[in-house]
Amino acid sequence: MTTDEPAIDVRGLRKTYGPHEAVRGIDFSVAVGEVFGLLGPNGAGKTTTVEILEGYRDRTAGTVSVLGEDPQLRSTALRQRVGIVLQSCGMYRHITVREALTHWSRFYPHPRDVDEVIAVAGLTQKQDERTRKLSGGQLRRLDFALALVGDPELIFLDEPTTGFDPAARRAAWETIRSLKELGKTVLLTTHYLDEAQELADRVAIIKDGGILAIGSPAELGVQGISRYQVTYVDAAGTAVAEETDDPTHLLHRLTAAAIDRGETLNELSVTRPSLEDVYLELTADV
Amino acid sequence: MSDQLSLLWRQYRLERRMFWRNPSAAFFNFLLPLLFLAVFGVIFANNHKDLEIVLPAVAAMSVMSTTFTALAMNITFLREQGVLKRMRGTPISTGTYLGGVGLNAVTNTAIQIVFVVLAGRLVFGIGWPPDPVQLILFTFAGVICLASLGVALSHVIPNFDSAPAIVNAVFLPVVFVSGVSLDTKHSPAFAKDLAQVLPVGHVVTGLKGGMVAHSGGLGDHLSALAVIAAWTVLGIFFAVRGFSWESARS
């Protein structure tokens, strides 16, 4: 595989369950070494899409290539190069963290060192604990560790930090960033906008089985889908918010008028639309 | 190939370890038939004729509880917990993984048959099995048949909470009807007819042929083998056809 070839390439992907069309013809590709986010509300088709890429589901139509292979064929070679963190996934209840990782590492031709993976996942203190004694967050870290132990080139993370407390989320983000530094490709689904904004090189916003927008978080914000917001408190103490596509001129007009009146605009701020604003605007029910 | 074989061995070792660490599985799949053996053994200790029915019956019950019951529960648990789905995403092959799960069950069957045979010889004075070939053949046939039916049953169990109730709702009547706990001579006619149709009674017949002298050679039990084979075909068909890697809710 050359590095020009994308890690994931999806063209015209459709998936129907009886009369229900879960995915309605989507296209995107993910470059090698890229962190790509699929963002959307529940039921948007994120998990269906990811599970088709992971080889769990057969597609109804379209072409899909993952590391140059069709995931539907479920080749062993492909599964050796991919790590999967499913949205919710159980484990043997009586296995210890270390036993699980040692066992899983034997599925792969070139596994990472088990001790190192335990450390990366922050499970050193819990390595000899049975999984049924672990907290939800610790189990999620074990999911992470099990997906990383085979040293995959491509990692699927389906809502990896759901249910984490803020500190655990930051720690998980650090782990995901470290994967990027190692040159791994990551496909991330999330409904946390800050997570996508923080981690993803590019994001696809998906709703009702279709992609609404695709681009880097910054691009999605700037490309006029959403507008800049200028807020201030006027001399009478009233909070004012104005939206504009052209903040330069608006600011000039506002500040010039204020100076002419001999007033100041208190708490003046210009906010670039966040991914959240774009997301809410795009996914709002009309 | 050797990779898959060594993985099979490792998966089998893991399943063994997990089995012993789960006290309720160890009890229901392992100790319960042995407890039956002890209880019936004590009740019929001085009656050779009855012991010659009780021993093969407990042996058949062991086959059923270690394969049918254990796999119906275990596959349901692994599916509902999401372990099957997780495994599906790793490079381990389906055959290797399920082979490890199945061999774990068969190991329990083998250990129990050995216990029953040893108890028959050392405790109850029945003697060594006169026809070990028939004993092994019917144990093997019973294992394949009841294991496939257990896996097939797991497909219709909607969640793990209902698994013990559903499995026992099948296990207990079949055990009674098939004369595993009852003397078929004194059972009502419909129970006898039903026992002729179900596989477990035929497993008892074959095991008895292997374990007890003058209770018929393999040649006399070909129709029993045929009934077991027919259920095996059904069991494998439904076990394979209905197999799901994930819980229906997800």
Q: What is the pLDDT of residue B26?
A: 78
The mean per-residue pLDDT over the stretch A44-60 comes to: 93
Residue A277's pLDDT band, with cuts at 50, 70 and 90, is confident
Say yes or no to pLDDT of A280 above 80: no
Q: What is the pLDDT of residue B147?
A: 96
Q: What is the pLDDT of residue B3?
A: 83
B24 touches chain A (CB under 8 A): no
Say yes or no to pLDDT of B10 above 90: yes
Task: Write out the two tokens for B44.
Answer: 């019929």
Q: What is the pLDDT of residues A162-182, one digit of tens each?
A: 777 888 888 889 989 989 998
Count of A–B CB contacts within 8 Å? 63
> Is residue A38 a contact partner of residue A5, using CB atoms and an 8 Å limit?
no
**Mean predicted lDDT score pLDDT of chain B:** 88
The mean per-residue pLDDT over the stretch A203-213 comes to: 91
Residue B181's pLDDT band, with cuts at 50, 70 and 90, is very low
Q: Bridge-partner residues for A214, per DSSP?
A: A204
**A181: closest CA of chain B, how far (Å):** 24
Q: Bridge-partner residues for A211, per DSSP?
A: A206
Identify the closest residue of chain B to A77 by CA–CA distance.
B91
Contact A106/B91, CB-based, under 8 Å?
A: no
> Is residue A89 a contact partner of residue A100, using CB atoms and an 8 Å limit?
no
Q: What is the pLDDT of residue B83?
A: 93
Who among A79, A88, A91 is closest to B89 (CB)? Answer: A79
Q: Give the H or E element holding residue A39.
A: strand A35-39
Who among B17, B21, B85 is closest to A89 (CB)? Answer: B85
**Mean predicted lDDT score pLDDT of chain A:** 88
In a mutagenesis test of the B interface, which of A67, A73, A94 is the best target, namely the one with the most B β-carbons within 10 Å? A94
Instruction: Give the span between the Cα atoms of B245 and B75, in whole angstroms.
Output: 10
CA B54-B55-B60 angle, 5° bins: 95
Say yes or no to pLDDT of A225 above 80: no
Q: What is the pLDDT of residues A7-31, one digit of tens each?
A: 999 999 999 998 899 999 999 999 9
B10 touches chain A (CB under 8 A): yes
B13 touches chain A (CB under 8 A): no
Say yes or no to pLDDT of B68 above 50: yes
User: Residue A98 gets which letter from DSSP?
Assistant: H
10 Å CB burial of residue A58 (0-12, 13-18, 19+) is exposed
Q: What is the pLDDT of residue B32?
A: 79
Q: What is the pLDDT of residue A240?
A: 86
What is the number of other CB atoms lying within 10 angstroms of the CB of residue B163? 21
Contact A89/B86, CB-based, under 8 Å?
A: yes
**B245: closest CA of chain A, how far (Å):** 9
Q: What is the pLDDT of residue A224?
A: 46
Residue B44's pLDDT band, with cuts at 50, 70 and 90, is confident
Q: What is the pLDDT of residue A56?
A: 94
The mean per-residue pLDDT over the stretch B81-110 comes to: 93
Say yes or no to pLDDT of B135 above 90: yes
Q: For chain B, what percent of residues have pLDDT higher than 70?
A: 95
Q: What is the pLDDT of residue A40?
A: 85
The mean per-residue pLDDT over the stretch B195-222 comes to: 89
> Is residue B206 a contact partner of residue B144, using CB atoms and an 8 Å limit?
no
Residue B250's pLDDT band, with cuts at 50, 70 and 90, is very low
Say yes or no to pLDDT of A39 above 70: yes
Q: What is the pLDDT of residue A222?
A: 54
Q: In A44-152, which ranges are E strands? A: 61-66, 82-85
Contact A86/B82, CB-based, under 8 Å?
A: yes
**A157: closest CA of chain B, how far (Å):** 13
Say yes or no to pLDDT of B179 above 80: no
- Least-confidence region, from A46-60, A264-278, B2-16, B78-92: A264-278
Residue for token pair 């819980």: B247
State the ipTM, two decimals.
0.85
Identify the closest residue of chain B to A150 by CA–CA distance.
B90
The mean per-residue pLDDT over the stretch A129-154 comes to: 92
Contact B89/A93, CB-based, under 8 Å?
A: no
**A147: closest CA of chain B, how far (Å):** 9
A110 touches chain B (CB under 8 A): no
What SS3 class is residue A123? Answer: coil
B250 touches chain A (CB under 8 A): yes
**B92: closest CA of chain A, how far (Å):** 6
Can you list the pairs that B113-119 forms with residues at least 24 positions away whose Cβ atoms lie under 8 Å? B113/B59, B113/B62, B113/B63, B113/B139, B115/B34, B115/B37, B116/B33, B116/B37, B116/B55, B116/B58, B116/B59, B116/B62, B116/B211, B117/B59, B117/B211, B119/B37, B119/B41, B119/B55
- Least-confidence region, from A203-207, B191-195, B201-205: B191-195
| Integer CA distances (angstroms), B110 to A166, B30, B59, B60, B117, in order | 52, 11, 10, 12, 11
